Amino acid sequence: MTGVKILGVGKCVPEGRLTNDDLAKIVDTNDEWIVSRTGISSRRIAAGEPTFHLAAEASKQALERAGLKGEDIGLIIATSITPDYYTPSVACMVQREIGATGSMTIDVNCACSGFVYGFDMAKRYLQTDDSLKYVLVVSAEELSKITDYKDRSTCILFGDGAAAVVVERKEDTLYSSYLGADGNGAQFLMARNVLGKNPLGREETVIDEKMPEGNGPYLYQDGKEVYRFATRVLPMVTKECCQKAGIEPGDIDVIVPHQANFRIIETAAKNLKLPMDKFFLNLSEYGNTSSASIPIAFCEAIEKGKVKSGDKVCFVGFGAGLTYAGVIFEY
Ligand code: UT7
């Protein structure tokens, strides 16, 4: 199989910590409820720095660890649901910051599945374009921008952060992916753009019938529906990736899942008949950082020696859309 070799991984998370006790001062909640229902203890929250800044810092670290310079990168794939601008893209802002002038730049919005979609796109570009040597995939989110800190059912979940990987093509290596979406579940997890006001004074037709009125730009979530979806697709996607790769789930060395909720991952582990120590988790410290959660966790897993050269690694994500995505590769 043609796959990818990871040359460098980097991350950047804001300094500011928001603990469960901090949140208990803002909304009617407590540490015990949050930890027992989600596994989250604290999250990092940006203090004014833009999303693209986190993306650029994570990218610089990944480049340095890869022993490359910005100008070596031929394609930047950035993923975010919380960019600073409608336009230009996060990828263009990162390109400017790292000096990758002339590279292709693409932004991907697949919510929490974004990094896995971007990683698989990188592999496909590398496989079909011989002139392309190195691709940077960077995921950066500031969920604090679209979190309603009056809504206790969502504000306990989300945090900010970014991470990046630099990859090149690798022949004769393990690689499989399984990606998809179910737009019928779109209304279970949404955040609205500004309502359109055109010069003819026509009001935009609003289709988000489930979202409470006056929700503004904040994330709306039907937690139970998303929970049901997540516990179904996590094992399904992992099994599909294994089948395509010709391996069994037990052959995977490390699974890096989307860091949404400890209970979701525990349920998936049971379904897959795998021990929890196959899964790398850091959600206790960072909460759910949407598309950045898998690469932040992957970066930490490498730093802590939990992922070693030659390991079979599985990334598996799910999120708004509703989207799902998995890849298996050899590190
Ligand atoms: O990347 C995005 C993916 N999103 C997810 O993965 C989220 C998936 N869903 C979940 O993780 C869970 O549904 C939540 C953690 C969001 C909620 O957990 P739950 O076990 O489904 O709780 P619930 O919504 O059924 O609420 C149970 C009770 C309710 O009270 P009543 O109606 O039983 O009296 C809530 O009002 O807990 C209450 N509650 C809270 N209590 C204290 C809801 N949020 C809180 C809170 N603190 N923060």
- For residues 246 and 200, state if they share a domain: yes
- Give the closest residue (by CA) to ligand 1 atom 29: 153
Residue 153: name the closest of 104, 221, 54, 55 by CA. 221
Q: How far apart are CA 208 and CA 100, in angstroms?
A: 39
Residues 214 and 188 grouped into a single domain: yes
Q: Do both 109 and 157 map to the same domain?
A: yes
**pLDDT for the residue numbered 263:** 97
- The mean pLDDT values, 10 residues at a time, for the chain of 331 residues are 96 98 97 98 96 98 98 98 97 98 97 98 97 98 96 97 98 97 95 80 71 84 96 98 98 98 97 97 98 98 97 98 98 97
Q: Which domain holds residue 137?
A: 3-170
Q: How many residues does the chain have?
A: 331
Considering the domain architecture, whether residues 20 and 116 belong to the same structural domain is answered as yes
Residue nearest to atom 20 of ligand 1 (CA): 37
185 lines ligand 1 (CB under 6 A): no
Distance, in Å, from the CA atom of 233 to the CA atom of 243, rounded to the nearest integer, reads: 15
Pocket test of ligand 1: the residue of 153, 154, 234 to mutate, having most ligand atoms within 8 Å of its CB, is 153
- Total of domains in the chain: 2
Same domain (yes/no): 237, 258? yes
The CATH number of whichever domain residue 274 belongs to comes to 3.40.47.10
CA of 240 to the centre of ligand 1 (A): 29
Q: Which two tokens stand for residue 218?
A: 């904040």
Q: Are residues 166 and 189 in the same domain?
A: no
Alpha-carbon torsion (246, 251, 256, 261), positive or negative: positive
113 and 12 housed in the same domain: yes
* Whole-prediction pTM: 0.96
Same domain, 143 and 161: yes
17-19 and 42-44 as β-strands: parallel, antiparallel, unpaired?
A: antiparallel
Contact 136, 99 (CB under 8 A): no
Q: Which residues are catalytic?
A: 112, 258, 288
Tell me if 83 CB under 6 Å of ligand 1: no
Half-sphere exposure at residue 240, Cβ-oriented, CA atoms within 13 angstroms: 16
294 lines ligand 1 (CB under 6 A): no
In this prediction, residue 181 carries a pLDDT of: 98
Q: Tell me: do 124 and 264 sit in the same domain.
A: no
Q: Which H/E stretch holds residue 81? A: none
**Which atom of ligand 1 is nearest the CA belonging to 111?**
1
Q: Who contacts 305 (Cβ-Cβ below 8 Å, separation ≥6)?
A: none
The answer on 188 and 156 residing in a single domain is: no
Atom of ligand 1 nearest to the CA of 260: 6
* Same domain, residue pair 138 and 160: yes
Please report the pLDDT score of residue 33 as a whole number. 98
Q: How far apart are CA 295 and CA 315, in angstroms?
A: 9
Whether the bond between 322 and the residue before it is cis, its omega within 30 degrees of 0, is yes
Mark whether 34 and 138 lie in a shared domain. Answer: yes
What was the pLDDT predicted at 194? 77
Closest by CA to 294, choosing from 166, 163, 189, 175, is: 163
Q: Report the atom number in ligand 1 closest to the C-alpha of 27.
A: 48
* 317 Cβ closer than 6 Å to some ligand 1 atom: no
